[in-house]
């Protein structure tokens, strides 16, 4: 046992501890650097962990739009012709709101609710019945007339029956859709409330009677999806009007003037029912008076109604017209942005640079495009000393380096082939590959040495440009394209550029990855 006093022992170990100088182990730093990279999001995995929400968003938004469109298209298929009619009525209703209804309100001081009966024998019950039925949206209104209290009306005067025949001729599916709508019992009260501020007493009886007594002259009418049929302004030439929107005129002129059905895209000639309406003297009906009773249909005490009023489903929003899937672009222009993750050896990622592109695509085969253009990018990377070849300077032997930081502005000219793997009406999956030539516009390098204080260090950085490197990289990418219109689409395209030859002042093998987010414009189709 060594008999050392405490202070001597302490001195011995203190001295050893203070003078101990463990040798530097580069692996220790590498371990720490990995941890720092993970923490700062500089590894590919960490980068994706950091940016995946943006990537997911970039994919989910078009996917959501596609899904929405797909469901919309399916809905249209399921309900068949009904949708067609609904569209017509909706358009008609819109048009009518902007014209006839206002005028009627101006004339009568309140929203007119008129039942027009050619035979002049419109009973109160019939009128009220029709009013209630017309309180339902658009086509369903007529359907309700078919499905609900129609027999009662028929027994009274048979007028509505004729009207029904008209409806049926226009579209037989109306009746079916009405049934469907009856089952849904969607509340339409709110819609009615918002349809017009003028509520209250109906003047339909008096106006109808006047019309009937005066020889059954028909006032023009139009239908509203908000509920009811409204009088249109008297624009009949016969009656001193300008003739516009006159159903009679339209019927006689066979499409010579604009009418509601024509405005919705239905040719007048084909719309015999409209003509027939006039010949039969169909009744104009409005249900605006029910606005104040919107949510209490069943409590409405109307004479002649024995069955509960069915609340009908609200017409769906107009469906987006599908894009033609067989449109084959001949030429397209793409503008894109991508983060530029450049590295030497798929590690040592530093902060992402920026890349923008302007590309032109030309279709050489139905699914095959030739793609070229220009890509400007700023590449920010670190290269270990072993990957960077410092140009030799005569009679100069630079000290040992640890690495190089590089910031390069690069103009890239790619020549790629794009192949559409899968195409839908609005979406495409594609892959592309090709070669790129790099033009080093500007290069900045900062050198790091093992001994930063070495007097043999002549220079610590380099600035300049080294020009073209033809076909220096191979490009591979896959992408998803979503068409937002016939000519315009959005693309998300992860890509990688692999070095085929060394580039730049230090002749590095530069690898670049990124995610292109592009807008594609197709001005010319085949």
- Output 34 or 487, the one with its CB closest to other proteins: 34
Q: Please state the closest distance from residue 11 (CB atom) to other proteins, in A.
A: 8
Q: Does 455 bind other proteins (CB under 8 A)?
A: no
What phi and psi, each to the nearest 5 degrees, are found at residue 146? -75, -45
Binder among 25, 201, 394, 458 for other proteins (CB under 8 A):
25
Q: Does 43 bind other proteins (CB under 8 A)?
A: no
The secondary element (H helix, E strand) that includes residue 444 is: strand 427-449
Burial (CB count within 10 angstroms: exposed 0-12, middle 13-18, buried 19+), residue 228: buried
Q: Which stretch binds other proteins (CB under 8 A): 1-9, 80-88, 359-367, 481-489?
A: 1-9
Q: Does 454 bind other proteins (CB under 8 A)?
A: no
Chain positions 331 to 370 lying near other proteins, rule: CB under 8 A, are 348, 350
- Output 36 or 121, the one with its CB closest to other proteins: 36
For CA atoms 283, 308, 172, 313, the dihedral sign is positive
Binder among 51, 335, 376, 448 for other proteins (CB under 8 A):
448
* Contact by Cβ (8 Å): 187, 313: no
Q: d(Cα 214, Cα 120) in Å, to the nearest integer?
A: 9
Nearest CA to 114 among 337, 291, 303, 284? 284
Q: Does 395 bind other proteins (CB under 8 A)?
A: no
Chain positions 68 to 107 lying near other proteins, rule: CB under 8 A, are none
Q: Which residues contact 265 (CB under 8 A, 6 or more apart)?
A: 88, 91
Burial (CB count within 10 angstroms: exposed 0-12, middle 13-18, buried 19+), residue 463: exposed
Residue 468 CA neighbour count, 13 Å, CB half: 6
Chain positions 465 to 494 lying near other proteins, rule: CB under 8 A, are none
Size of residue set near other proteins by CB under 8 A: 41
Q: Does 4 bind other proteins (CB under 8 A)?
A: yes
Q: Does 397 bind other proteins (CB under 8 A)?
A: no
Binder among 230, 297, 369, 382 for other proteins (CB under 8 A):
382
- Output 29 or 396, the one with its CB closest to other proteins: 29
Name the token pair of 59: 């994919």
Q: Does 22 bind other proteins (CB under 8 A)?
A: yes
What phi and psi, each to the nearest 5 degrees, are found at residue 230? -115, 155
- Output 27 or 299, the one with its CB closest to other proteins: 27
Q: Does 20 bind other proteins (CB under 8 A)?
A: yes
Nearest CA to 405 among 436, 448, 455? 448
Greatest Cα pair distance, the chain, in angstroms, is 137
Q: Which stretch binds other proteins (CB under 8 A): 19-27, 72-80, 313-321, 325-333?
A: 19-27
Q: Which stretch binds other proteins (CB under 8 A): 30-38, 87-95, 254-262, 273-281?
A: 30-38
Four-CA torsion 158, 159, 165, 168, nearest 10 degrees: -110
Binder among 9, 364, 365, 488 for other proteins (CB under 8 A):
9
Binder among 272, 279, 319, 405 for other proteins (CB under 8 A):
405
Q: What angle do CA 514, 518, 519 make, to 5 degrees?
A: 180
Q: Which stretch binds other proteins (CB under 8 A): 22-30, 135-143, 170-178, 412-420?
A: 22-30
Q: Which stretch binds other proteins (CB under 8 A): 11-19, 120-128, 260-268, 358-366?
A: 11-19
Q: d(Cα 162, Cα 513) in Å, to the nearest integer?
A: 71
* Contact by Cβ (8 Å): 135, 225: no
- Output 14 or 486, the one with its CB closest to other proteins: 14
Applying CB under 8 A, the residues found at the interface with other proteins are: 1-4, 6, 8-25, 28-29, 31-33, 35-36, 39-40, 348, 350, 382, 402-403, 405, 446, 448, 452
């Amino acid at each position: 046992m060594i008999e050392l006093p405490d202070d001597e022992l302490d001195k011995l170990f203190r001295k050893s501890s203070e003078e101990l100088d463990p040798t530097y182990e580069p692996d220790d730093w590498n371990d720490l650097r990995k941890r720092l990279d993970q923490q700062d999001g500089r590894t590919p995995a960490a980068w994706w962990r950091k940016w995946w929400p943006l990537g997911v968003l970039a994919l989910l938004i078009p996917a959501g739009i596609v899904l929405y469109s797909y469901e919309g298209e399916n809905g249209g298929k399921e309900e068949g012709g009904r949708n067609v009619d609904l569209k017509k009525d909706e358009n008609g209703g819109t048009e009518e709101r902007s014209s006839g209804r206002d005028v009627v309100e101006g004339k009568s001081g309140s929203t007119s609710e008129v039942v027009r009966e050619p035979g002049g024998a419109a009973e109160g019950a019939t009128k009220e019945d029709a009013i209630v039925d017309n309180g339902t949206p658009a086509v369903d209104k007529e359907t309700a007339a078919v499905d609900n209290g129609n027999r009662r009306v028929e027994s009274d005067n048979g007028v509505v029956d004729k009207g029904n025949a008209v409806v049926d001729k226009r579209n037989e599916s109306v009746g079916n859709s009405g049934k469907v709508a009856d089952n849904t019992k969607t509340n339409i009260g709110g819609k009615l409330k918002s349809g017009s501020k003028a509520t209250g007493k109906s003047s339909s009886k008096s106006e109808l009677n006047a019309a009937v007594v005066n020889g059954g002259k028909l006032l023009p009418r139009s239908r509203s999806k908000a509920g009811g049929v409204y009088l249109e302004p008297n624009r009949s030439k016969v009656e001193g009007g300008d003739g516009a929107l006159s159903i009679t005129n339209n019927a006689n002129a066979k499409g010579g003037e604009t009418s509601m059905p024509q405005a919705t895209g239905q040719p007048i000639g084909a719309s015999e029912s409209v003509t027939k309406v006039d010949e039969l003297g169909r009744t104009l009906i409005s249900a605006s008076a029910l606005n104040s009773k919107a949510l209490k249909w069943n409590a409405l005490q109307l004479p002649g109604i024995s069955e509960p009023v069915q609340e009908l489903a609200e017409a769906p929003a107009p469906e987006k017209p599908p894009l033609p899937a067989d449109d084959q672009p001949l030429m397209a222009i793409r503008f894109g942005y991508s983060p530029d993750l450049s590295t030497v050896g798929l590690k040592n990622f530093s902060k992402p640079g920026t890349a923008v592109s302007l590309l032109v695509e030309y279709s050489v085969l139905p699914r095959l495009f030739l793609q070229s253009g220009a890509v400007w990018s700023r590449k920010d990377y670190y290269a270990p000393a072993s990957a960077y070849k410092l140009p030799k300077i005569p009679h100069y032997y630079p000290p040992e380096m640890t690495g190089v930081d590089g910031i390069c502005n690069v103009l890239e000219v790619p020549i790629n082939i794009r192949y559409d793997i899968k195409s839908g009406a609005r979406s495409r999956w594609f892959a592309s590959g090709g070669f790129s030539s790099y033009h080093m516009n500007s290069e900045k390098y900062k050198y790091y040495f093992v001994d930063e204080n070495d007097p043999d260090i002549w220079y610590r950085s380099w600035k300049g440009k080294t020009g073209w490197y033809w076909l220096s990289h191979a490009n591979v990418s896959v992408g998803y394209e979503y068409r937002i219109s016939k000519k315009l689409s959005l693309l998300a395209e992860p890509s990688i550029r692999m070095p085929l030859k060394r580039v730049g002042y230090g002749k590095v093998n530069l690898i670049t990855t990124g995610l292109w987010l592009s807008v594609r414009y197709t001005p010319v189709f085949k």
